[in-house]
A and B are shown apart, each in its own frame.
Chain A
Amino acid sequence: MYAQPVNGKFGQYGGKYIPETLMQAVEELEVAYEEAKQDPEFQERFSSLLSEYVGRETPLYYASNLSRRLGTNVYLKREDLNHTGAHKINNTIGQALLAKRMGKQKVVAETGAGQHGVATATVCALLDLECTIFMGEVDVERQALNVFRMELLGAKVVPVKSGSRTLKDAVNEALRYWVKHVDDTHYVMGSVLGPHPFPQMVRDFQSVIGTETRRQILEQTGRLPDAVVACVGGGSNAMGMFYPFLNDESVALYGVEAAGSGIDTDKHAATLTKGEVGVLHGSLMYVLQDAAGQIEEAHSISAGLDYPGVGPEHSFLKDIERVRYAAVTDDAALDACLALSRQEGIIPALESSHALAYAETLAKTMGEDETLVICLSGRGDKDVHTIREKVATR
């Protein structure tokens, strides 16, 4: 059996490496979350919002054209059909309900491309919470429409001008803001990252993905899948998908990181493949860093995978070899994105396209009776600008 974390640690990974000012808030959150987990009323409210507001459950779709081409049975878990277009909202609903329960009327969050920011702003509008989103200045320029979406939803978006002015710096600034406003503000962490209990809590809120998938595949095929593939940036869709399968030893699990221009260049986000163990944003995990322990910038065509760390539980699952991690280049992800658009009429997010690209490689080792599930974590509408640009220049 897969062991539960002890004192917030997955093996050596995880922990609470944060400034002392935040310790009280994080411990309060830990207690509140443990109580909420046991509270049927909280769970009921969470599930009813997931079904009536988000539109769950999402379909597990047999992709017949893709299956024919790959020579194995491919199922897509359609997280792209959620309200706001990706899996991110599963987590923001859970955390916003928790913030309410703790009597906090304000939330702060970081965002890279803007997906988590939009999902947070959406839930704050719904539940009447004051919302502040930190976003790197570079991303604010790249994702102007998402900034407008967040503002339309009533959130305040603060451009971050420090450091590399991208996601990692947005997290730094959101943490600083939280230190200042810790009495009345909850930090809605967007992935399975940060100090305990965030990695575990975000995984739990996202595990609705894997729980549904496991039931649906059993209903549709009468047996468990042979392989499950998901993309990994911070790792929340993958953790949510994998978690309910961890004890099913016959199910091979694959996490796919962004290899950017290639893992042997200095432009990638393949933290588990190329990183070293270190501490960033409250957690011990694999991080991209130089020989002196300075955090390096990550690069990927997909903004959602562009982070120099990876969830502590993924770090642990890599070491115990329960999940195999691979990396896929920008080019391969783009090809997979174009292929799914044309063959299935589904434009996938560039993040999810990394999982699709790896599935093509994996399918070559699989038989026509076997089954492969891919987590289609989000839709590609947000990426059409990038896709058009990249296709035009190659």
Chain B
Amino acid sequence: MKLETAIREREGAAFVPYIMAGDGGMDRLIPTIVELERMGATAIELGIPFSDPVADGPIIEAAGMRALEAGVTLEMVLNHLIEGNDQFNVPIVLMTYLNPVFRFGVQPFFDRANECGVSGVIIPDLPFEESLQLFADIDRHDVAVIPLVTLTSSEERTASILEKAEGFVYAVTLKGTTGKADVFPDELLAYLTRLTEQSRVPVLAGFGVHRPEQVQTLGQACDGVVVGSFIVEALHEGRTDDVETLIQSAKHIHA
């Protein structure tokens, strides 16, 4: 509930930055979360590196490879969160491909994520139907399973997904992978508006977002945005001012 409340009670549009856990060293994880909270992040999406990230474009894939080379694992990230979670209050959402969770054990994963105060989890290679089966006998505690919907999801599928959605709905803005897009599909704004009307939980738009004017336009059509590749690249290159400018661009939107 902490996550949904944070999104509902934001100023302007919600802004959720994505960071790759362990990129630049595990010791930077907690300070980066604290810094993003100070800059005005509504929640933080924390990526777990995976060897075969098919939903991601080159920037996030490269960040994941750097983290893997440094030996980062899901367990290590959870341990850091539990040690550092008295230093921040911003909700944390884990973004992980299914295999690391599967290997960790699905029930142990939710137990541990809950202990660490994690608010939600996004698993990009676990579509709705498979999640129903996989989680049928699992106690997920208060960890929301955040679904993705896309422009190619049929109305029927979208309705079933919205019905079970928790935390927020992640609306994918384009047919493609994560990255920095210059153009979004024509039908996107109408699509986001329609989703936001239909959904019980907030709707955040993500994939490709990297400019203040995109944040503004999308932030008016739904509850806010998720920004990944731009943030990952800017943090990697030490451009923290650019991160703050983009986060701040979400604050002065009147939906």
Chain A contact residues, CB within 8 Å of chain B: 15-25, 162-163, 168-169, 172, 175-176, 179-183, 276-282, 287, 289, 291-295
Contacts and interface: CB of A to CB of B under 8 A. Distances in A.
A162 B58 contact: yes
Contacts of B75: 292
Contact of A279 (B58, B73, B98, B149): B98
A292 B103 contact: yes
A278 B61 contact: no
A20 B127 contact: yes
Given A162-B61, A292-B73, A293-B103, A280 B52 contact: yes
B84 interface: no
Contacts of B52: 163, 168-169, 172, 280-281, 295
16 contacts: A16-B129, A17-B98, A19-B125, A19-B148, A20-B150, A21-B152, A163-B61, A179-B55, A180-B175, A278-B103, A280-B52, A281-B54, A282-B125, A293-B99, A294-B50, A294-B68
Given A19-B148, A20-B153, A179-B175, A278 B54 contact: no
B36 to A, nearest CB: 25
B66 to A, nearest CB: 13
B107 interface: no
Nearest to A181: B175
A20 B70 CA distance: 30
B235 interface: no
Contacts of A19: 54-55, 124-125, 127, 148, 150
A15 B148 CA distance: 18
Contact of B103 (A16, A18, A276): A276
B103 A23 contact: no
Given A16-B129, A279-B102, A289-B103, A180 B177 contact: yes
Residue among B51, B57, B102, B104 with most chain A CB within 10 A: B51
Contacts of A291: 103
Interface residues of B, number: 42
Q: Which 8 A-B pairs have the closest CB atoms?
A: A293-B103, A293-B100, A292-B73, A24-B152, A294-B51, A295-B51, A293-B99, A21-B150
Residue among B52, B58, B172 with most chain A CB within 10 A: B52
Interface in B201-246: none
B159 interface: no
Contacts of A24: 152-154, 157
B39 interface: no
A281 to B, nearest CB: 7
Interface string B164-175: 000000001001
Contacts of B101: 293
Nearest to B71: A292
Contacts of B74: 292-293
Contact of B127 (A16, A25, A176, A179): A16
A281 B97 CA distance: 11
A21 B170 CA distance: 12
A110 B98 CA distance: 22
Contacts of A294: 50-51, 68, 99-100
Contacts of B65: 163
A138 to B, nearest CB: 16
Nearest to A296: B51
Contact of A23 (B50, B57, B157): B157
Given A20-B172, A175-B54, A179-B175, A293 B102 contact: yes
B130 interface: yes
A289 B153 contact: no
A7 to B, nearest CB: 8
B175 A182 contact: yes
A276 B203 CA distance: 37
A169 B52 CA distance: 7
B130 A16 contact: yes
Nearest to B103: A293
B82 interface: no
A294 B51 CA distance: 6
A113 B152 CA distance: 33
Given A24-B153, A182-B152, A163 B51 contact: yes
B102 A278 contact: yes
Contacts of A282: 125
A25 B130 CA distance: 16
A262 to B, nearest CB: 23
Contacts of B154: 24
A16 B154 CA distance: 17
A172 B54 contact: yes
A170 to B, nearest CB: 11
B217 to A, nearest CB: 21
B25 interface: no
B126 interface: yes
Interface string B127-148: 1111000000000000000011
